[in-house]
Each structure stands twice: as C-alpha cells, then as structure tokens.
Amino acid sequence: MTVQERIDWLDEARIGAALARADHVEDAAQVREILSKARTLGGLSEDDVAVLLSVKDPALTHELYDAARFVKTEIYGPRIVLFAPLYFSNICTNECVYCAFRRSNHELDRKVLSMDEIEAETAALIDQGHKRLLLIGGEAFPKGGFQYLIDAIERIYSVKRGRGEIRRININVAPLSVDQFRQLKAAQIGTYQLFQETYHRKTYAEMHLDGPKADFDWRASAIDRAMEAGIDDVGLGPLFGLADWRFEVLALMQHIAHLEAKFGVGCHTISAPRMEPAVGSEVSLHPPHLVSDEDFKRIVAILRLAVPYTGLIMSTRETPEMRRETLELGVSQISGGSRTNPGGYATPAEEQAAQFTRGDHRSLDEVVRDVAACGHVPSFCTACYRMGRTGADFMDLAKPGLIREMCGPNAISSFMEYMLDYGSGDTNAAGERAIAGEVATMEPKLKRYSETMMRKVREGKRDVFR
C-alpha cells in the first residue's frame, strides 16, 4: 500500500472555531434567513451549516424540520429507494475498536463466502424482490485477492431467478489504488461508497489501532482516487458516535466542497450510520459521543438542506420508528430485510457473525408495506446508472427536476413490478393506494408516462424505465 500524503482539504481549526461560535450564539433571524435560502433548493455553505448546528430552541428546531420536509418533498416527492447489503466476508486486517469484525475479536465466527455462496445469497435477495445490492465485507480480500471482488460482481450480475435479477451493485470495500478502481468501474459498479468513520484525526487514531485503516490520509483520499479512475457516483458517511456529530457534519461539508472543486461534482450519497452494539466491542456499547434521537434527526434535516440533490441513506441499524421519522426529514434510500453476516440470507440462523446489531428486523415485504402505508412510493429503480446518468450529468439533470420527472414514473413502474412478482396481499393494497395517491398529483404528461409504464408491467414486460 502506498502511504498517502496528508490531505489538505480538512481544516479542523476552522471547524473548531465554528463550533465554539455555535455553542454561544443562536441567532434566530440568521437561522430563518438560512432556512429561507435552503427552501430555494440551492444547498448551503459550510458557514450556513455551522449556524444551523447552533439551533437548540424547540420552535426553531420545528422550523428546521419543516424546511427539511419541504426540500425533501420538492425534490424527491414520495419516492424511497430500497436496497440490501450483501456481506461477502467478516474477515478483517484492521483493529477498529467499535467493530465486531476487527482482527483480534475472537468472539466472532469467521466466514468468507465462496462464489457459489455469493450466488446463493444473491438468489435469496432476488427472491425477496431486491434489484439493488451493496456488496460489502471486512477489509481483507479473501483468497484470490482483489480479483475475488471482480469475480463476485460478475457472479451476482449473472444470477437470474425467473423474472428477477440484480440490476445495480454498489460497493463498500477498503480504499483501493486508482488502477483497482478502474477495474471496479469496468466491472459496472454503481456507487463506490467509503465511510471515513470519523474526520477527527485524534479520535481516528484512538479508534483505529492497527492495519491499513490506521492511515487516516490513505482513507480520506480514497474517494479522489475513485473519481480519478472514472467512478463518478461516490458515497460518503461518518459513523456517528465516535466524535462530536457537529464536527463530523462540518468536516463532511469540507470533503464535499473539495470534491466539487476538484471534480465538478460532490458525492452521490451520504450514509448516516449511528453506532450500534457489536459483538466483543465495549466501545460500541458506550459510544464516546452518543448521538441522541433528537440530534440524529437534526443531522438528517441539516444534511437534507445542505446538499439537497445528494441521496441520504438510512440502514437497518435504526428502529422502524426512527426510520419512519427520518424518511419525512430527508432520507431517500433505505435498506430492507437486511442481514449483516456473510451468508445470512441463505442461512438466516447464523447471526452471531454479524457486524452490528440491527434495530429493524422486518422482512423486505414488511418494510415496503410500511413505507407505502406512510404514503411513500418504494422504488426498485436502477435506471440512471444504466442510462449513464451519473456524476455531474446526474446533478445537471437533477437540478431542473429530473428526480421527480424521471424517477417518479420509474419508481411507480419498478414498484408495480415488485408488487406483481413478490408483494403480499396487504403490501399490494397499501402499494396501490400509495401509487394512486401519487399519480393523482402528477401533471398530465407525467401521469400518462406512469400509466403507460404500469400497463406494460401489468402486461408482463419487466425493467420498464425512462
């Protein structure tokens, strides 16, 4: 591994000064001015975000949430994208003190999936109705090295189950070289996702004791290498609970600003994982900077306002109640029916090998039913990446309204496909109501598109998108 030079875009002193100000000042007039600006859907600067971090007054918090709901609805409408993680291994060379997969944890059963087992996991996920996977594992490539990952991607895309298949594979693996990222791009991945865990260097050193991941800068520069290799949909995310969440949000803004300045586009998604108990990890039971439910909702709302066109991802770490609340405030993608242990879909009994404890144990069908019953439209669409609408191209299209105009009908058509092929009776009843509610609000042209696409799916066509 190459040792990376110190990254130059993270300014801890500036963040520290902004947080010191935020501790002492809550300027309601300034907060309201920033919320008005956010409602114009143009995003916010790091300084604006710093001001929103100061909001503690309940009435102002209410206004913050209202603005986040407005932006969410204006840009995304009711569509919520569904996906599932597929863990290929829980073997890891690193010593992250909060993670069950860390090398020295002897309480965990270790497992690396063979290609046949990856196929079995894929088949189980397709049979649930999934179309979009996140391929993820401990930070050590199993026997076969990096080629294992390429082979796994190929194998997943090759699996067909009746009319079901995986149409998009996102990847969350250890930082790679530019050449390896090029190979990932050639293997037709969707988003490359990498979490810095914490942007706070001192905390990072305390939490990552050994292994390649102990090199803060190699990790913090990985997204640059991915983008240099042509992967223009990238995903970021801190692990909330390690350092002050307000620090992480401002550092995330600096990371995004750096990517925008260097590559002309920021990140495609942000994940907001909050630390959950992990087998054999004391730190995970007592996070150094525990994030309360109220602060967690603030994180989602502030991110929604700050980067309105960036997808916000919520995993099954959170409870159904929290997931429901954050869908309103800005989350646009959720996982459903997830297992975080390798082999957990094909052999669901073996959960002791999981990375963390899940807060949401419902099946995909139950999650879909709940999402639809709340008036959202669950989406299994994978059109943009397959149509080349990625990176800056996606953002250029998104800003004039693509997400509502294209993703809206695509969400309806892909959800109809799910209902016909996998949905249970109650889920489909909730789904039909959610679709009817959304179609009723559409302008005539979009309504026509949606109805035509649904008709094609009902007639037996699959993978219908614009």
Q: With respect to ligand SF4, which residue has the nearer C-beta, 284 or 413? A: 284
Contacts of 260 (CB under 8 A, 6+ apart): 266
Q: With respect to ligand SF4, which residue has the nearer C-beta, 276 or 365? A: 276
Task: Report the run of H or E that residue 245 belongs to, with start and end.
Answer: helix 245-263
Q: With respect to ligand SF4, which residue has the nearer C-beta, 213 or 246? A: 213
C-alpha–C-alpha distance, residues 423 and 416, integer Å: 9
Q: With respect to ligand SF4, which residue has the nearer C-beta, 141 or 385? A: 141
Taking alpha carbons only, the member of 384, 352, 379, 362 closest to residue 435 is 379
Q: With respect to ligand SF4, which residue has the nearer C-beta, 99 or 372? A: 99
We find the least distance from the C-beta atom of residue 195 to ligand SF4, in angstroms, to be 8
We find the least distance from the C-beta atom of residue 92 to ligand SF4, in angstroms, to be 3
We find the least distance from the C-beta atom of residue 15 to ligand SF4, in angstroms, to be 23
C-alpha–C-alpha distance, residues 112 and 20, integer Å: 46
We find the least distance from the C-beta atom of residue 348 to ligand SF4, in angstroms, to be 21
Dmax (CA) of the chain: 62
C-alpha–C-alpha distance, residues 176 and 199, integer Å: 19
We find the least distance from the C-beta atom of residue 283 to ligand SF4, in angstroms, to be 11
Q: With respect to ligand SF4, which residue has the nearer C-beta, 101 or 309? A: 101
Of the CA atoms within 13 Å of residue 9, those in its CB half-sphere come to 20
Pairing of strands 160-161, 164-165: antiparallel
Other residues' Cβ atoms within 10 Å of the Cβ of residue 379: 27
We find the least distance from the C-beta atom of residue 101 to ligand SF4, in angstroms, to be 4
C-alpha–C-alpha distance, residues 48 and 39, integer Å: 13
SS3 call for 90: coil
- Helix ranges, 264-346 (H): 282-285, 293-306, 320-329
We find the least distance from the C-beta atom of residue 138 to ligand SF4, in angstroms, to be 4
Q: With respect to ligand SF4, which residue has the nearer C-beta, 52 or 272? A: 272
We find the least distance from the C-beta atom of residue 103 to ligand SF4, in angstroms, to be 7
- Strand-pairing partners, residue 171, are 135, 192
We find the least distance from the C-beta atom of residue 278 to ligand SF4, in angstroms, to be 8
Both tokens of 374, joined, read: 């709340």
Q: With respect to ligand SF4, which residue has the nearer C-beta, 99 or 272? A: 99
Q: With respect to ligand SF4, which residue has the nearer C-beta, 88 or 394? A: 88
Q: Give contact residues for ligand SF4 (rule: CB under 6 A).
A: 92, 94, 96, 99, 101-102, 138-139, 213
Give one word for 284, left, alpha or beta, with left for phi > 0 and alpha for psi -120 to 50: alpha
C-alpha–C-alpha distance, residues 232 and 393, integer Å: 9
Q: Please answer whether residues 259 and 200 qualify as being in contact, where contact means their C-beta atoms are separated by less than 8 angstroms.
A: no
Q: With respect to ligand SF4, which residue has the nearer C-beta, 332 or 355? A: 355
Question: Contacts for 244-247 with beta carbons within 8 Å, 24 or more apart?
Answer: 244/19, 244/200, 244/289, 245/289, 245/291, 245/295, 245/299, 246/19, 246/22, 246/53, 247/15, 247/19, 247/199, 247/200
We find the least distance from the C-beta atom of residue 426 to ligand SF4, in angstroms, to be 37
- Give the rounded distance of the alpha carbon of 88 from its chain centre: 18
We find the least distance from the C-beta atom of residue 117 to ligand SF4, in angstroms, to be 19
Q: With respect to ligand SF4, which residue has the nearer C-beta, 108 or 299? A: 108
Q: Please answer whether residues 209 and 97 qualify as being in contact, where contact means their C-beta atoms are separated by less than 8 angstroms.
A: yes
- Give the rounded distance of the alpha carbon of 322 from its chain centre: 16
**What beta strand segments (E) does 376-420 contain?**
377-379
- Torsions phi, psi for 112 (to 5 deg): -120, 130
We find the least distance from the C-beta atom of residue 339 to ligand SF4, in angstroms, to be 15
Q: With respect to ligand SF4, which residue has the nearer C-beta, 198 or 269? A: 198
Both tokens of 24, joined, read: 């002492």
